[in-house]
Structure 1
């Protein structure tokens, strides 16, 4: 579904019982709302209402001129919630989606019942410029994300997963390659220019921080530290998963997610 907005369109998907508690999902850089396909059936079976949104310039959401900020991307989520007359929600975010969740917890405390932040960071990584700079250069030269698609997939999912699920792996890779350059660059610049670390102690919502044990960027040690910064934070890991544990280990991720949501009822 599409929500026309000022100078752009926001894409979202809403399914489940109208009276169910709402769980909002926000995906990683270069993905789209389809990255949460493995979570939707489990949540619907448990009676939740599921709202998935696309970042600016990702999936069906149109891009705006770069750069973006994490707070702007969080405001996009609130805009969708407002349009759907959803007052409160549980929020689940992966990677940049987890950064968006932190912004929501800091700035919209009255809108979130809980936060699950997966494979994320609480401030710009120190190597942001050297990490994304060459990739942005390659994207601009090619006019697409095709040059970085395989590198991205190598960070996201293990070789074992690719061998066992070649069709799903290709779906995700095609989505990465098809992401709009403007959307990717705008969101990458948002990741390169934010810091929430020193303010996370003010977030009162319950927070679960999760991470794949093999994630090369948002490491388990860093994730445990982020969890410790929240007054009501805790940590859970997924052994043997990389950056996208909800896809790599959907059964384990869904069990953790449903237990978490159940504990917040």
Structure 2
């Protein structure tokens, strides 16, 4: 489905009973709301309403030219909730989706029932400026995000995943390749220019942090740091997984997620 936000198209998928508690998902860079397919069935089976949003320039959502800020991306989520008349959510975000989740928790604390941050960072990753500039330059030169697809898949999944689930592997790789250059460049700029670490102790929502034990891009140490800064924050590692543990190890991820949501329902 599509909604209009500030005159631009935003894709969303909303399923489940109308009066049920809402679980709102935000995805990683160069992905879309389809990365949460493995979580949909157990959540609907447990009676939740599930909202999955595509970031600007990703999936079915229209891009915006220029650099984005993390606060603006968090405001996009709030704007979508307002259009859909959803008052409060259990927020679950991964990678940049988890960065957006921190910004959302800081700016709109009254809209949160709980917060789950996955494989993410509390601020621009230390020493990452050069790598991001290289990726941005590669996309500008090629005119497509497809140039990043293979390297991204190596960071996102252990080598075993392609053999175990080749169809899902190809779906995700194709999604990376078809992300709009403007969406990638804008979101990459947001990752390069944010820092929520000092403000994390002000977050009041019950917070769970999850990370794949083998994630090279948003490593467990950085996720444990987030959990340690937020009062009452809890950390859970997912073994034998890299950047998308919800896809690579859905049984383990869903067990942690469903237990957490039930405790905060």
TM-score (norm 1): 0.99
Q: What is the Cα deviation at residue 250 of structure 1?
A: 0.5
Task: Return the TM-score normalized by structure 2.
Answer: 0.99
Task: Say whether the 8 Å CA contact 1:241–1:249 is kept in structure 2.
Answer: yes
Partner of 1:175: 175
User: Would the aligned equivalents of 1:7 and 1:64 in 2 still touch at CA under 8 Å?
Assistant: no
The Cα of 1:251 is off from its aligned counterpart by: 0.8
C-alpha distance in 2 between matches for 1:49 and 1:191: 29
Residue 207 of structure 1 and its aligned partner are, at CA, apart by: 0.5
**Cα shift at 1:114:** 0.5
Partner of 2:65: 65
Alignment of 1:240-255 (within 5 A): 240-255=240-255
Following superposition, which runs of at least 4 residues in structure 1 exceed 4 angstroms of deviation? Answer: none
Which residue is 2:119 aligned to?
119
Are the equivalent residues in 2 in contact too, given 1:32–1:54 (CA < 8 A)?
Answer: yes
> 2:84 corresponds to which residue?
84
Aligned to 1:195: 195
Match of 1:42 in 2: 42
Q: Is the Cα contact below 8 Å between 1:23 and 1:91 reproduced in 2?
A: yes
Distance 1:126 1:25 in 2: 26
How far did residue 136 of structure 1 move? 1.0
Partner residue of 1:233?
233
**Structure 2 residue 136 is matched with structure 1 residue 136:** yes
Counterpart of 1:210 in structure 2 is: 210
Q: Which residue of 2 aligns with 1:100?
A: 100
Deviation at 1:223, TM superposition (A): 1.1
| 1:205/1:232 contact within 8 Å kept | no
Farther-moved stretch of structure 1 (5-14 vs 166-175): 5-14
- Measured against aligned partners, the alpha-carbon deviations of 1:140-159 in whole angstroms (never above 9, x if no partner) come to 11110111100000000111
Contact 2:55 2:61 in 1 (8 A): yes
**Which consecutive residues of structure 1, in runs of 5 or more, have no partner in the other structure?**
none
Answer yes or no: is the 8 Å Cα contact 2:122–2:222 preserved in 1: no
Please give the secondary structure, in 1, of the residue aligned with 2:92: strand
2:3, 2:11 within 8 Å by CA — same for their partners in 1? yes
Aligned mates of 1:132, 1:193 — CA distance in 2: 11
CA RMSD of aligned residues (A): 0.8
